[in-house]
């Protein structure tokens, strides 16, 4: 094909899903001339899987994306159908916000935001080749023969790269939602030395709302008041969700048809997500469970489509109909979209640095499911970091890297590029060793100043943030320095909560640290008539109640920070270091970690290997 040179770019972003969007927004807002390439303009910001944003661990990522100046949280707030805080009865470290979203309005919001962003062009075409020279990115070529010179390229292809949809015995090349797959780009990536792996994910059926008997389901309303991502002003919940359950009949239908399941017949070769398995996988793996939850969720205000969360499947369509009709309340369910599995190509993330740039290709970045992760939120977080770092590279500045101790985003990226993954990676609060420090409620404190320094947070929002932080400090100071006077009401409360009557007053913070004592008790007992923001009161309560644990985690962070500071020179030949085990030497030689801290997290590198490295560094000095 005859090629022609098109306009010159700073950054080319391939794919307009959740990773590509955040990458493009960040790069353009930091002043880089950016083009966002997509196979179709009609699916910018598409939600091919569940119509929601957030969830356990994932909600933390969205708060962090918002604090750094990303768009996902704002979009979710704008199109929210229902907001619920998960794990609300548990400790503050594991509480996670999840929002049911209007799928179509989310797409519309994101497309309009792209079109309104200076320095950002949206282009419908297929990128078929990434051009490199001397292991450096030079630009991209489209299927129409256009060559776009570019200083950096960000790959955010989602599940479209080498996509293949599978339903029962039927399999065909496709991207998500029966869109075009990006197949020609696969060969180009292989030609430039990118190692690809094959993963798989899936979706459940979508059914017609009027075919559901809601009287047989458990209604699940949103929180009142609803919490917003980024703690923007609350909005009313618009639609309820429901819960249904599988039963023994459902499970028997699945067991009787396992031979027709692509998962068990050998048709599917890609590795699926462990923490979001298909219904047939759940029935086999958890054979002792009598039932599984199915969340019945609306897709939007202007559609009758309903999503059956928890019922992902690749079984033949007629089997899917049987198993759905076996569920109480769904006996007459009318299918609108059949469930399907999708296989796709992604890179081995061990090829990437913490900035998400490929080690062996200067200026090439990966983001989202292309990096082996699973989920919209993980994708958006990586897209944001890749976009920031591509823009910084164009500006000739050092990369922006978040640490595990300061963010879930840092944990996500460090896990991927240090440990790699043999299945689609999903963020959970348990993945962080610092989760009490990395709560949703303090995401702005941790990260908003960084977003401001990068130019992604406006002056107005930054000044509002400073006021909020000052108000929080004042509340905590007052609690630490004011007392509740001795009174019958205080002693009565002591007795009610299982403590002995004291006949004495007490410092408010000391009182709050006791079990089953809450900040609302303090306000009531002290007759405090000052007006407080509920979110700040909750935050102050957490900071004081858990202050001992927080101090311990901060000390741990400081101890590990010393390891992160010990840099490993880039010219070390690990295979020649005496005392280093063979496996450790090979892993270190391949991954070439920047510092001792990261070396300690590589699979196959033991504490004794780290001791050898520390001795080697001291001798080398």
19 and 158 Cβ atoms separated by less than 8 Å: yes
- Residue 440 CA to residue 153 CA, distance in Å, equals 31
Return the pLDDT at 242: 98
User: For 30-34, 118-122, 291-295, 604-608, which range has the lowest pLDDT when averaged over its residues?
Assistant: 604-608
- Residue from 65, 62, 75, 84 nearest 102 by CA: 75
Task: Give, for 220, the enclosing helix (H) or strand (E).
Answer: strand 218-220
Cα–Cα distance measured from residue 21 to residue 44, given in angstroms and rounded to the nearest whole number: 8
Paired strand residues for 131: 139
> Does position 270 have pLDDT exceeding 90, yes or no?
no
Q: Parallel, antiparallel, or unpaired: how do β-strands 146-155 and 293-298 relate?
A: unpaired
What are the tens digits of pLDDT across the range 535-547?
A: 999 999 999 999 9
Question: How many Å apart are CA 472 and CA 48, to the nearest integer?
Answer: 40
pLDDT over 70 (residue 453): yes
- Kindly tell me if the per-residue pLDDT of 275 is higher than 70: no
pLDDT score at 263: 76
Percent over 90 (pLDDT), the chain: 82
DSSP string, 23-83: HHHHHHHTT--EEEEES-GGGTT--SS-SEEE-TTHHHHHHHHHHTT-SHHHHHHHTEEEE
Q: How far from the centroid of its chain's Cα atoms is residue 540's Cα?
A: 26
Burial 315-325 (b: 16+ CB within 10 A, else e): bbbebbbbbbe
Q: Which residues pair with 197 in a beta bridge?
A: 346
Are residues 146 and 79 in contact, defined by beta-carbon separation less than 8 angstroms?
no
Q: Read off the pLDDT of residues 398-420 as tens digits, 9 standing for 90 and up.
A: 999 999 999 999 999 999 999 99
* Mean pLDDT, rounded, for 356-373: 97
3-state class (DSSP) for residue 156: coil
Q: Given a cut of 70, is residue 55 above it in pLDDT?
A: yes
Q: Which of 177, 156, 103, 127 is nearest to 342 (CA)?
A: 177
Q: Rounded to an integer, what distance in angstroms lies between the CA atom of residue 279 and that of residue 298?
A: 20
> What pLDDT sits at residue 249?
97
Q: Which of these ranges, 30-34, 125-129, 556-560, has the smallest mean pLDDT? A: 556-560
Before 225, cis peptide (omega within 30)? Answer: yes
Give pLDDT tens digits for 564-619. 888 898 889 998 898 888 888 988 988 888 889 889 888 888 888 888 898 888 88
Question: What's the CA gap between 316 and 293, in Å, rounded?
Answer: 22
**pLDDT of residue 446 exceeding 90:** yes
Residue 522 makes CB contacts below 8 A (sequence gap 6+) with 479, 484, 508, 511, 512, 528
Place of tokens 């992902």: 312
Q: Please, what are the domains in the chain?
A: 206-343 (2.40.30.260), 459-550 (1.10.10.1800), 566-620 (1.10.150.570)
DSSP string of 270-293?
Answer: SBPPTTS--HHHHHHHTTT-S--E
> Which tens digit of pLDDT belongs to each residue from 145-186?
999 999 999 999 999 999 999 999 999 999 999 999 999 999
Q: CA–CA distance from 210 to each of 63, 203, 338 (Å)?
A: 35, 21, 17
Q: What average pLDDT does this structure show over 25-39?
A: 98
Residue 590 in tokens: 């391949």
Question: Cα separation of 197 and 271, whole Å?
Answer: 9
pTM confidence score? 0.94
Helical ranges in 286-404 per DSSP H: 317-325, 376-394
Would you say residue 429 has pLDDT above 80? Answer: yes
Residues in the chain: 621
Give yes or no for a contact between 352 and 195, defined as CB atoms under 8 angstroms apart: no
Closest of 328, 440, 425, 319 to residue 378, by C-alpha: 425
Condensed to tens digits (0 to 9), the pLDDT of residues 473-506 reads: 999 999 999 999 999 999 999 999 999 999 999 9
- pLDDT reported for residue 530: 79
Cite the beta strand spans of 491-591 per DSSP E: 506-507
For position 427, what pLDDT does the model report?
Answer: 94
């Amino acid at each position: 094909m005859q090629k022609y040179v098109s306009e010159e770019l700073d950054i080319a972003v391939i794919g307009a899903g959740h990773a590509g969007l955040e990458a493009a927004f960040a790069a353009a807002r930091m002043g880089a001339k950016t083009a966002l390439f997509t196979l179709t303009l009609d699916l910018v910001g598409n939600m091919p899987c569940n119509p929601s944003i957030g969830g356990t661990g994932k909600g933390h990522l969205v708060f962090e994306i918002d604090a750094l100046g990303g768009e996902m949280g704002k979009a979710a707030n704008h199109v929210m159908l229902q907001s619920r805080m998960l794990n609300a009865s548990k400790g503050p470290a594991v509480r996670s916000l999840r929002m049911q979203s209007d799928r179509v309005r989310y797409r519309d919001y994101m497309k309009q935001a792209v079109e309104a962003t200076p320095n950002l062009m949206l282009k419908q075409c297929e990128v078929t080749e990434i051009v490199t020279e001397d292991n450096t990115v030079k630009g991209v070529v489209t299927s129409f023969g256009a060559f776009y010179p570019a200083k950096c390229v960000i790959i955010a292809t989602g599940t479209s790269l080498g996509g293949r949809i599978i339903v029962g015995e039927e399999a065909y090349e496709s991207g998500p939602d029966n869109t075009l797959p990006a197949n020609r780009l696969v060969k180009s990536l292989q030609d430039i030395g990118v190692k690809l792996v094959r993963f798989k994910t899936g979706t459940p059926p979508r059914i017609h709302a009027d075919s559901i008997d809601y009287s047989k389901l458990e209604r699940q309303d949103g929180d009142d008041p609803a919490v917003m991502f980024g703690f923007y002003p609350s909005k009313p919940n618009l639609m309820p969700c429901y819960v249904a359950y599988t039963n023994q009949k459902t499970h028997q239908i699945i067991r009787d048809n396992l031979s027709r399941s692509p998962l068990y017949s050998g048709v599917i070769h890609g590795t699926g997500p462990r923490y979001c398995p298909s219904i047939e996988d759940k029935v086999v793996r958890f054979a002792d469970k009598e039932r599984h939850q199915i969340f019945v969720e609306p897709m939007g205000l202007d559609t009758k489509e309903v999503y059956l969360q928890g019922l992902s499947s690749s079984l033949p369509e007629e089997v899917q109909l049987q198993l759905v009709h076996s569920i109480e309340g769904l006996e007459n369910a009318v299918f609108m979209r059949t469930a399907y599995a999708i296989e796709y190509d992604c890179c081995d993330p061990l090829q990437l640095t913490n900035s998400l740039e490929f080690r062996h290709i200067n200026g090439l970045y990966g983001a989202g499911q292309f990096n082996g992760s699973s989920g919209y939120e993980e994708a958006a977080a990586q897209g944001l970091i890749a976009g920031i770092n591509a823009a910084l590279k164009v500006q000739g500045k050092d990369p922006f890297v978040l640490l595990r101790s300061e963010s879930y985003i840092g944990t996500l990226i460090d896990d991927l590029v240090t440990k790699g993954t043999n299945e689609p990676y999903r963020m959970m609060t348990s993945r962080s060793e610092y989760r009490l420090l990395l709560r949703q409620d303090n995401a702005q404190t941790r990260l908003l100043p960084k977003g401001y320094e990068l130019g992604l947070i406006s002056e107005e929002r930054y000044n509002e943030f400073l006021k909020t932080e000052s108000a929080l400090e004042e509340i905590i100071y007052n609690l630490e320095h004011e007392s509740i006077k001795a009174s019958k009401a205080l002693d009565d409360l002591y007795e009610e909560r299982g403590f002995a009557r004291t006949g004495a007053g007490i410092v408010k913070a000391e009182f709050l640290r006791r079990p089953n004592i809450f900040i609302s008790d303090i306000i009531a007992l002290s007759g405090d008539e000052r007006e407080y923001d509920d979110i700040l009161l909750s935050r102050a309560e957490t900071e004081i109640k858990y202050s001992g644990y927080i101090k311990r985690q901060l000390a741990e962070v400081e101890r590990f920070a010393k390891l992160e500071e010990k840099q490993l020179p880039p010219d070390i030949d690990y295979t020649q270091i005496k005392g280093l085990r063979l496996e450790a030497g090979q892993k270190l030689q391949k991954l070439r970690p920047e510092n001792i801290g990261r070396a300690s997290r590589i699979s196959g590198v033991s504490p004794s290997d780290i001791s050898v490295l520390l001795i080697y560094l001291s001798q080398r000095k």
